[in-house]
Structure 1
Amino acid sequence: MSLNTQSLQPIINFIWSVADDVLINKYLENQYQDVILPMTVLRRLDLALEPSKEKVFKTYEDFKGKIDNLSGLLTSEQHGTGLAFYNTSQYTMKKLLADPKNINTNFLDYLNGFSENVQDIISKFKFRNQLETFENTGITFSLLEKFCNPKLELSPDKISPMAMGYMFEDLIRRFNEKTNAAAGRHFTPREIIELMTHLVYLPVKDKIQQGTYLVYDPCVGSGAMLTQSKLFATNPEGEIKSKATFHLYGQENTGEMYATCKSDMLLKGEDPDKIKYGSTLSEYGFDPDLKFNFMLTNPPYGTTWKQDQENLNVGTEKKISIVDKRFNLPIKNFKGELETTCLTSRSNDGQLMFMLHMLSKMKDPKDGGSRIASIHNGSALFTGDAGSGESGIRQYIIENDLLECIVQLPNDIFYNTGIATYVWFVTNVKEKKRKGKVQLINASSDAFYRKMRKPLGSKRNELVAEHIETIQDLYFDFEENEYSKIFDNEDFGFYQITVQQPEKDDKGNIIKDSKGKPKADSSLKDIENVPMKEPIDNYFKREVLPFAPDAWYDKTKMKVGYEIAFNKYFYQYEGLRTLKDIAADILILEQETDGLLKEIIA
């Protein structure tokens, strides 16, 4: 089946109908997904195992009790599945339907027959918790019968991991809408992943033809970014045609998404042990010294990371800073001196913490370095004043010349949010012409997307191949035009100064302290952000003293700030319309509605 969201709708609709037909009045609506999602994954695994079922069962019966560990035999091509998992039960889902009377006992036997790696998936779905309800409400047979229906095509030969990602996203979106739940994280549409993989791999395509490369997603979700990026790099019909080996690593803290990702890694022949469960920020699942060549992710934004803060001892009454070296980094103070600083974003938005985490996982440039693509909302660009954690993170990235390019995407491009989003491309191996520079590409206008025939949730717009190619050309051309701007790193930095004015008495005389210096009037205190490229005294003389001749600023209390005011750089002034034009439009409207008004009154 070709991968497009419209062709998947009949399958998604059928799965959705199972909830309405079988679970209604047996489960609360907000519990439907606890049954539907794991059953979808289990049926997919079941279909993959069907062809080798008899062979596996015979091997198991012949060798059980004779060999301590049968896993090697049961996953082998000759005696087993030829996959990384198996099921030693005599049953398949279809065979369970042949004995309705004992279906609950047999279903448990079927679940218990799965290999250990699938048991982990079942556990993360908390699926066994549902079996008592199945039995008590008598729905086990109906549920299995529905999932064995030929209309429900879930075979891995027909439905790719990316397609499964679409299906899960759509199902979760529907469940959330039905229960008025928050949309939560944002599944990344295929075309955005294509854009990310193109700009991550193509700049180094000649360097990755051979060898071994590690690809990582710290917020792995369904795993689509990993599998699609590997496919793009190794596709013999693609633009790169790499013959290198790519190992896929990921971590996910949402049980059902972790289970979904791990199941698809099993089906794709990838190593399921390279997918870890838990929070990346405070429960990193891999060796701390493990580094990655490529990282692609869509971290949660506008989402709390308070639990991670507590686990890392941040924000406690003692204000203990993070011991973790990922988040203790050297940045320059206003004197230009490097100071090791604990860089943390506010507790209600942890997206930039994932960026810091990825920076700590970059390979040394001597070993080829790393390239990162990460999706963020606008707050990552500008939220946080000078001296804040967010500003400090931007400062660290930019002053270390790691930020290569940011692409603004069209609005309404994601399934569950219409907000403005941006893809950051970060690397520690910039090519010569990009050193000390940052490219901003504004791909938000209708020149870069087309309207979808039928919206899917909040997704009303989509990129097609020609749009991705246009953005790609803007990146590689590395020239300034209507959609592309190029800046020096310092253009995003500023010094924040506190402007003071003297306190005066009723007669207008300046009040002085014991040392004869003017006392500052707190009500007249102001803040000025001075561009880093401009001498502060020059700025002060031009922008402050003409309006406040007695003002001064404290040179010992300045702060360094960094922000990327994307909209300002691409702002285009539109002049006000003339009164004549406005009046003409009003007259036309009056003429168009005149007959209608008479008709309504009549």
Structure 2
Amino acid sequence: MSQPATHSIANFIWGIADDVLRDIYVRGKYRDVILPMTVIRRLDALLEPTKEAVLKMKQQLDAVNIANQSAPLYQASGQAFYNTSPFTLRDLKARAKSQQLKADFEAYLDGFSTNVQEILDKFKFRNQIPHMVENDILGNVIEKFLDTSINLSSKPILDVNGNEKLPALDNHAMGTVFEELIRRFNEENNEEAGEHFTPRDVVKLMADLIFLPIADQIQSGTYLVYDGACGTGGMLTVAEERLQELAKAHRKEVSTHLYGQECQPETYAICKADLLLKGEGEEAMNIKFGSTLSADAYPSQEFDFMLSNPPYGKSWKTDLERMGGKDKLKDARFSIQHGDDPEFTMLTRSSDGQLMFLVNKLMKMKNNTPLGSRIAQVHNGSSLFTGDAGQGESNIRRWVIENDWLEAIIALPENTFYNTGIATYIWVLTNRKPSHKKGKVQLIDASNWYVPLRKNLGKKNCEFSDEHMKMICDLLIDFRETEQSKIFPNQAFGYSKITVERPLRLQVDLSAENLSKFCRTCGKEGESDLADFISAFAKEKGATSFNNYNEFIKLFEEHADKVQLKLTKKRKDLIRNELATIDENAEPVIKKAHKPGKVTPNPLEGLYELIIDGKKCVVEHEADSNLRDTEQVLLIEEGGIEAFFKREVQPYTSDAWMDASKTQIGYEISFTKHFYKPIKMRSLGEINKDILSLEAETEGLLLQIIGKVD
């Protein structure tokens, strides 16, 4: 069927809402009636020719008490669904009394097979029936869908002379009509459309990104396509169509099977209904309801091609709790070891689970086929950089890049999607990189490639043209650098997060005022003998301060031994907390001293050679947490961490060292860093010229405003 014909049918169905539902439903709720009724009418039209055969088969099966009747009823209907009620919609059209119509219509719905029942339940269509009956519009709605000016049947409508009056509506055309209705309703409700509806231009681009680079490698056979956040199923069907086109162009015969999962009831129903209307009943069985994260419908399945637009910026806390929480999570998809890190985690913060969907796909890649798996997934900018080294988001990026799965990331124009104006990106991944791409990642900036829409659709004000999509795919396939395409080694996105420590420097204040305060504190803590001892110690030493905390403690311990005062940890902490203060001019506090020969001095690690009591030893200084800092050192840093530390840290803080036990590996990707173009600053001459020009324009203006002063 031609595009104008399908568009005309979609317009007619769209018009039913305004004709019948206006003032009964608010505009945003029209879809609650129109979408399920479109499904029902199409199924009804397809079942009309075999209605008698189904009823006869049902009677025979009941007569011999066969419980499982689905298979023979499917066979009798000739479809992937059936209806065993005695009614068709045309039978119900004649019902005059609204209550009889309600009872018969509900009986008609109850006669559908379980797959259709599930769709109706997820649409919550039965909830609409009392409202339509109460407002006396149910009959009108049915009558409108039976209008003879449109044909939702798979057979043509003939006139009295046997000539074709209305063409048949094949499954593909019906799917097109249904998708057009979905698109319009999503645009009407654009505040929520982005949650399950990806613009068609973006979907087409994603399909091309996963298929075109390997188009000449596709062989005749069966391929599995998966979307773990399938929404209304648009990505799956577009991907299937594109794969079939490319296979046909290369003279290959391929069979595709679609798999998906969706957690929103209505969008799940739309997806299954769309596949049924397209005649893909078996594929509809592969669309599962539930959360991909906490209730994976395909835990052991692997797929050839995967694409998705998962929710971003949306909490997955409920899923996390269902999975046992961070401490008890046992899901094999998210519990792995990597990089000899026993604490490696791939759990993102519960406020945003978009990268978790990516991990789910990567765990479903095929590893034993020539093509492996190819993935395209939409993300917002946070997936590029959110999460510090060692945290879930950074670890996922590390896992992906170090396994060399990331092929490219494409930056899309702002305002590409219906419900968000923020920057979005398509990640392209594969476990079968060609040799010339191994160990490398391509960044493509397509943020300025778009054509404006004549009318905004929500926040969407632009789209890709076919030429733009071809330019993007050509860059990916050719793998070349241009102003919009940059190629980097994998390590360019990794860094070591090092912890820079500086020594704690304490001076001890034994002034009369400070001792008096210390004694009061000791009294409260029940340590009056310690207070007396400190006072006597200060008097004997005749010192009001010590610039070396280690020397003070040594002398203090010696005197304590003489009077047999036991220095417990509590007493030492009390002395340090009350009498010692940080002083940048004091000597560093020694944490531990090692015998020479056992530990090698290394200032970079905080190990210094020192003479104590005439003996050479190697000491570790205690770190001052207030002076602790971190630095990010790129993995591609020439000379590594040591060269960076000597160049960027030691010249400014000579007493600093690195705590190697705290070093962590992180990964982040910055488009701004690689594609930002600073605005050229104006010269002073140009600015001066503009100022003089403005002065000339405003000359005498003040006089005109306030008038001449005598």
TM-score, structure 1 as length reference: 0.86
The aligned counterpart of 1:279 is 291
Q: Using the TM superposition, name which of 252-261 and 140-149 deviates more.
A: 140-149
- Residue number in structure 2 paired with 1:209: 219
What is the CA deviation profile of residues 528-578 of structure 1, one whole-angstrom value per residue up to 9, with x for unaligned ones?
A: 010012210101111112222221110121111011112211112222123
| Deviation, structure 1 residue 430 | 0.7
Which amino acid counterpart does residue 488 of structure 1 have in structure 2? Answer: P
Is residue 2:390 matched to residue 1:357? no
The answer to whether the Cα contact below 8 Å between 2:14 and 2:181 also exists between their aligned partners in 1 is no
Distance 1:54 1:246, change over 3 A: closer
Residue of 325, 335, 354 corresponding to 2:332:
325
Structure 1 residue 90 displacement after superposition: 4.6
Structure 1 counterpart of 2:277, one-letter code: L
Of the structure 1 ranges 520-529 and 346-355, higher mean CA displacement relative to structure 2 is found in 520-529
The answer to whether structure 1 residue 105 and structure 2 residue 103 are counterparts is yes
Question: Aligned to 2:347, what secondary structure does the other structure show?
Answer: coil
Name the SS for the 2:344 alignment partner: strand
Partner of 1:391: 394
In 2, the alpha carbon distance for the partners of 1:423 and 1:432 equals 22
Among 24, 34, 37, the residue aligned to 1:40: 34
**Matched residue SS, 1:261:** helix
Contact 1:43–1:154 (CA<8 Å) still a contact in 2? Answer: no
Measure the CA separation in 2 of the matches of 1:53 and 1:507.
88
CA contact (8 A) 1:200 1:425 kept: yes
Q: Which residue of 2 aligns with 1:531?
A: 634
Partner of 1:61: 55
SS across alignment from 1:523: helix
Give 3-state SS (helix, strand or coil) of 1:472's partner: helix
Deviations 1:326-385 (A, max 9, x none): 0012221xxxx3547331011010000011110111111446411111110001110000
Please say if residues 16 and 171 of structure 1, whose CA atoms lie closer than 8 Å, have aligned partners that are also in contact: no
Q: Answer yes or no: is the 8 Å Cα contact 1:56–1:74 preserved in 2.
A: no
Q: Which residue of 1 aligns with 2:666?
A: 561
Superimposed CA distance per residue, residues 491-519 of structure 1 (whole angstroms, 9 cap, x where no aligned partner): 11100011122334547123313535433
CA distance in 2, matches of 1:5, 1:553: 69
Separation (CA, whole Å) in 2 of partners of 1:258 and 1:39: 16
Q: Is the Cα–Cα contact under 8 Å of residues 196 and 296 in structure 1 kept in the other structure? A: yes
Aligned to 1:442: 445
Asked if 1 retains the 8 angstrom alpha-carbon contact of 2:13 and 2:145, the reply is no
Change (3 A) 1:186 1:308: same
Among 121, 127, 130, the alignment partner of 2:128 is 130
Distance 1:12 1:440 in 2: 44
1:458-473 paired onto structure 2 within 5 Å = 458-473=459-474
How many pairs align?
572
- 8 A contact 1:394–1:562 mirrored in 2: yes
Q: After superposition, give the CA deviation of every residue in 1:391-445 in whole Å (9 maximum; x if it has no partner).
A: 0000100000111111111111111111111111111111110111111111101
Q: Corresponding residue for 2:323?
A: 312
- Give the counterpart letter for 2:336 in structure 1: L
What is the alpha-carbon distance in structure 1 between the residues aligned to residue 49 and residue 663 of structure 2?
A: 74
Q: Which SS does the other structure have where 1:540 is aligned?
A: helix
Q: Call closer, same or farther: CA 1:449–1:11 in 2, change over 3 Å.
A: farther
Query: Matched residues in 1 for 2:148 and 2:468: separation?
Result: 37
- Between the aligned partners of 1:65 and 1:109, the Cα distance in structure 2 is 17
Rounded to whole Å, the distance in 1 between the matches of 2:9 and 2:453 is 15
Bigger CA drift: 571-580 or 524-533? Answer: 571-580
1:257–1:14 distance in 2 versus 1, CA, 3 Å: same
- Can you give the 5+ residue segments of structure 2 that lack an aligned partner in the other structure? 154-168, 508-582, 593-618
- 2:522 maps to what in 1? none
Q: How does 1:94-493 map to 2 (within 5 A)?
A: 95-101=91-97, 102-145=100-143, 157=170, 161=175, 164-165=178-179, 167-172=181-186, 174-175=188-189, 177=191, 185-235=195-245, 239=249, 242-270=252-280, 271=282, 272-286=284-298, 288-315=299-326, 319-320=327-328, 322-332=329-339, 337=340, 339=342, 341-366=344-369, 368-445=371-448, 448-493=449-494
567-576 or 373-382, which deviates more: 567-576
Aligned twin of 2:622: 519
The 1:12/1:140 distance shift into structure 2, 3 A limit, reads closer
**Secondary structure, counterpart of 1:64 in structure 2:** helix
CA–CA distance in 2 between the matches of 1:436 and 1:407? 18
Displacement of 1:523 in angstroms is 2.3
Q: Which has the larger radius of gyration?
A: 2
My pick for the range that moved more, 357-366 or 97-106, is: 97-106
Show the counterpart of 1:509.
586
| Matched letter for residue 37 of structure 1 | R
Structure 2 length as normaliser, TM-score?
0.74
Output the amino acid matched with 2:382.
S
Shift of 1:582: 4.8
Cα deviation, residue 592, structure 1 = 11
Judging changes above 3 Å, is the alpha-carbon distance between structure 1 residues 331 and 265 closer, same or farther for their aligned structure 2 residues? Answer: same
CA shift, 1:128, in A, is 1.9
Shift of 1:51: 4.3
On the 8 A contact 1:43/1:93 being kept in 2, the answer is no
The residue type equivalent to 1:526 in the other structure is: D
CA distance in 2, matches of 1:369, 1:46: 40
User: Secondary structure of 1:556's partner?
Assistant: helix
For the structure 1 residues 578 and 3, does the alpha-carbon distance in structure 2 shift closer, same or farther, using more than 3 Å as the test? farther
The one-letter code of the counterpart of 2:291 is S
Q: 1:189 & 1:553 partners in 2: Cα distance?
A: 50
Mapped partners of 2:247, 2:214: distance in 1: 18
Taking structure 1 as reference, are residues 163 and 63 closer, same or farther at Cα in structure 2, changes over 3 Å only? closer
Question: What is the root-mean-square deviation in Å for CA atoms of aligned residues?
Answer: 3.3
How far the C-alpha of 1:50 sits from its partner, in A, is 4.7
| Distance change (3 Å), C-alpha of 1:442 and 1:276 | same
